[in-house]
Amino acid sequence: MSEPEHHDTVVIAVDGSPESDAAVRFGTREATLRAVPIVLLNVVSHYITSRSIGPAPLEPAYSGWQQDNARDALARAENIVRASAGQLPVPEMRSEVVYSAVVPALAEASKHAAMVVVGCRGRGAIGRLALGSTSTGLIHHGHGPIALVRADDAQAPDDVAPVLVGIDGSRASVAATALAFDEASRRGVDLIALHAWSDLSYSPYAIADQSYEAQGHEILAERLAGWHDRYPDVTVHRQIVTDRPAHWLIDGSQQAQLVVVGSHGRGGYIGMLLGSVSTAVVHAAHCPVIVVRPR
């Protein structure tokens, strides 16, 4: 019989950027809340990709620069971990350099981690709708919880702000609900559970809002059943909306300290493209987002 798999580290992708620094601060708090070690991971590629010639080996001088940059970025991250711990014990940590393509390396690391934390691009020419290729690749190919943090997420509400979770009853949202309760409990804050009747931009249910809102509360109560007993310290606020769950989650992220979503939604119901809600939320949320991927 094989040994059970343990997920007992928080892996933080490190590259020395402001987004990476924000990821280190967020990851340090996660590791502190969970009382688990931190792995600071820098990925060095031996290849550079050109649209005209495709992947090509790096020149030795550039490769040496990458290795120097990796050491500097990891040293910087270690200092941020110590500073972020504050009065609490500094989590156990180790630094690693992996020679690989970035997304496959992080996806592989996510198989054995409690969580992987990555920084993603901040405001660009089209506002918050600029997401790095690493972040995009990881939310499609990673395993377990993937936290995405922007440098400007430091402007998000303070530590008493609630955790917000999107719930649709799918297997993915069940995993997201479990993590959201755990996060709210560890942080000592309220949980907002948002349920949308439809994923369409206009919902046919709108003609009977009162009737469907009542049924929505009943369904949401069923989907939250059991979690109240497991986490009696978490106060839950239920929010029922008729349509556009991504819109409401993004709007709610302005008053939340964290948004949790599943990687796939109701799949098979009208108007839903698998992953469209989580992708939209990751692109435009105003606070860190955790996408819960299947193991």
- Is residue 51 very low, low, confident or very high in pLDDT (cuts 50, 70, 90)? very low
Take residue 70 and report the two structure tokens written for it: 């990796």
pLDDT of res. 39: 98
pLDDT of res. 279: 85
Three-state DSSP state, 23: helix
Please give the mean pLDDT across all residues of the chain. Answer: 81
pLDDT at 219 over 90: no
For residues 14-49, one letter each, b for 16 or more C-beta atoms within 10 angstroms of the residue's C-beta and e for the rest, the string is bbbeebbbbbbbbbbbbbbbbebebbbbbbbbeeee
- Is residue 5 very low, low, confident or very high in pLDDT (cuts 50, 70, 90)? low
Q: Tell me the per-residue pLDDT of 140-179, one tens digit each, with 9 for 90 and over.
A: 899 999 999 988 775 556 889 999 999 887 777 889 999 9
Hey, which CATH number is domain 10-152, 3.30.428.10, 3.40.640.10, 3.40.50.12370, 3.40.190.10? 3.40.50.12370
pLDDT at 272 over 50: no
CATH topology for 163-292 is Rossmann fold (3.40.50)
Question: Which of 119-133, 213-227, 241-255 is predicted least confidently?
Answer: 119-133
Q: Cα(232)–Cα(160) distance, rounded to whole angstroms?
A: 18
Percent of the chain with pLDDT over 90: 49
pLDDT at 81 over 70: yes
For residues 277-293, one letter each, b for 16 or more C-beta atoms within 10 angstroms of the residue's C-beta and e for the rest, the string is bbbbbbbbbbbbbbbbb
Domain edges within the chain: 10-152, 163-292
Of residues 77 and 212, more confidently modeled:
77
| One fold for 10-152 and 163-292 | yes
- Is residue 121 very low, low, confident or very high in pLDDT (cuts 50, 70, 90)? low
pLDDT at 131 over 70: no
- Is residue 13 very low, low, confident or very high in pLDDT (cuts 50, 70, 90)? very high
Task: Give, in order, the Cα–Cα distances in Å from 273 to each of 189, 200, 279, 294.
Answer: 32, 10, 10, 18
Mean pLDDT (whole number) for 234-249: 89
Mean pLDDT (whole number) for 111-137: 70
pLDDT at 4 over 80: no
Three-state DSSP state, 110: helix
pLDDT of res. 208: 52
pLDDT at 254 over 90: yes
Q: Tell me the per-residue pLDDT of 55-71, one tens digit each, with 9 for 90 and over.
A: 445 555 556 667 788 89
Task: Give, in order, the Cα–Cα distances in Å from 53 to each of 47, 157, 214.
Answer: 12, 46, 59
